[in-house]
Amino acid sequence: MANAFAERWIGTVRRELLDRTIIWNQRQLQRLVIDHIDHYNIHRPHRSLDQRPPAPTQPPNANGQQLRIVRATRCGGLVNEHRKAA
C-alpha cells in the first residue's frame, strides 16, 4: 500500500514539475523539489478536499470588502500562487 502512495506522489512531481523543467544539476533539482513539496502541501488544491488546499493560510473574506491579490512564483517560475494581500 505504501508503494502505491509513493508511486502516485512521484508521478505527480514528474507531471507537474519535472516534465516542464530543464534540470541543469543536482542542486537545482533539490531546490525545485523542496519548493514543489512546500507548494503541494500548503497551497495546491486537492480533489479529495473539494479543491481546497490542505493548510489554508487565510480565512475567506466574509464582509464583502475589496480584496487585493498578490501573485508569487514558485518552482523557478513554473507555478504561480495567488494570495490575499494584508
Between CA 24 and CA 22 the distance in angstroms is 6
For residue 17, the 8-state DSSP code is: T
Q: Give the list of residues 6+ apart from residue 84 with CB closer than 8 angstroms, or none.
A: 58, 61, 67, 68, 69, 70
Task: Extract the C-alpha cell encoding 59.
Answer: 480565512
Question: How many other CB atoms are there within 10 angstroms of residue 41's CB atom?
Answer: 12
43 within 8 A of 52, measured Cβ to Cβ: no
Q: What is the pTM of this model?
A: 0.58
Mean pLDDT, contiguous 10-residue spans, the chain (86 residues): 83 87 88 84 69 61 66 72 67
**pLDDT computed for residue 25 by the predictor:** 92
**pLDDT computed for residue 55 by the predictor:** 65
**pLDDT computed for residue 26 by the predictor:** 93
32 within 8 A of 17, measured Cβ to Cβ: yes
